[in-house]
Chains A and B, each alone.
Chain A
Amino acid sequence: DSGVTQTPKHLITATGQRVTLRCSPRSGDLSVYWYQQSLDQGLQFLIQYYNGEERAKGNILERFSAQQFPDLHSELNLSSLELGDSALYFCASTSGGAAYEQFFGPGTRLTVL
C-alpha cells in the first residue's frame, strides 16, 4: 500500500460525458502528479500540482483539467469524453523534488463506450 488513494477504481461512461477522478496523496506530500496509461500511448505525464498550484503540464488535452484543493487532494476532470480516452489514470505523490520517489495510487480504469 503506497498510501495514495484513488477513487473510483473503475468508471464506465459514454462518449460526450464528463467524469471526475479523485486522488488523495500520502499524508504530508504536497506534490501530486497525474499520468495516463493506455495501450497505444504508454504511460504519459499529464499535469503536476504543488501545494495547490499548477507546476507543470504535459500532453494534457484541453478537454482535461485538474486542480488541487487546500486539503491537498486532487481531482482530474475529463469532459466531452471520446473512445480514445479509455485508459488507466494514475496519480502519484511525493514529498520532495525530482530526485524523490513518486508513490503511485492503484489507478482509475476509465472505459468510454
Chain B
Amino acid sequence: AQSVTQLGSHVSVSEGALVLLRCNYSSSVPPYLFWYVQYPNQGLQLLLKYTTGATLVKGINGFEAEFKKSETSFHLTKPSAHMSDAAEYFCAVTYTGKLIFGQGTTLQVKP
C-alpha cells in the first residue's frame, strides 16, 4: 500500500524567504512522486514530478524537490518566496496511476 504524509498543514514564510514543504511517502514498490499546487477555486496544477533518473527535480515557478529514497522523502523547496506562491500544495504518490495524496499544506506568504 502507498501513503503520503505532509508535515505541517500550514506553513507561513516572509516574502523572499526559503520555502520548505515536507513530504514523506510509504511505498512497497518504486514510486512515482508528484507535487501539485491548488490556487483558490481552481483545480490542481502540476509543479513537478519524479519518475526515474535524476533525484533533484526542477519544476515550474522556481520550485524544486529532491527524491531521497533512504529517507523516503520528497520535500519541495523554493529559494525565495513570492506573494503569488500562496496556495495549497499537495504531495502525491502513485505506481499504478491512481494518485494517493497527502493532506495538503497551505502556504502563507507574508509581505
Contacts and interface: CB of A to CB of B under 8 A. Distances in A.
Asked if A and B bind, the verdict is yes
Interface of A, secondary structure class, is strand
Contacts, number: 57
Contacts of B90: 43
Interface in A32-76: 33, 35, 42-45, 48, 55-56, 58
Size range of the chain A interface in the assembly: 20 to 34
B97 A33 contact: yes
Interface stretch (B15-23, B43-51, B67-75, B78-86): B43-51
Interface stretch (A14-22, A78-86, A97-105): A97-105
A98 B46 contact: no
Given A35-B99, A55-B97, A56-B96, A99 B43 contact: no
Contacts of A45: 98-100
B43 A105 contact: yes
Interface in B27-43: 32, 34, 36, 41-43
Contacts of A42: 101-104
Contact of A90 (B41, B44, B98): B44
A31 interface: yes
Contacts of B108: none
B24 interface: no
B106 interface: no
A101 B94 contact: no
Contacts of A102: 46, 99
Interface of B: 32, 34, 36, 41-46, 49, 51-52, 90, 94-104
Given A33-B97, A42-B104, A45-B99, 11 more contacts: A2-B45, A42-B101, A43-B101, A58-B98, A97-B97, A98-B94, A98-B97, A99-B51, A99-B52, A101-B34, A102-B46
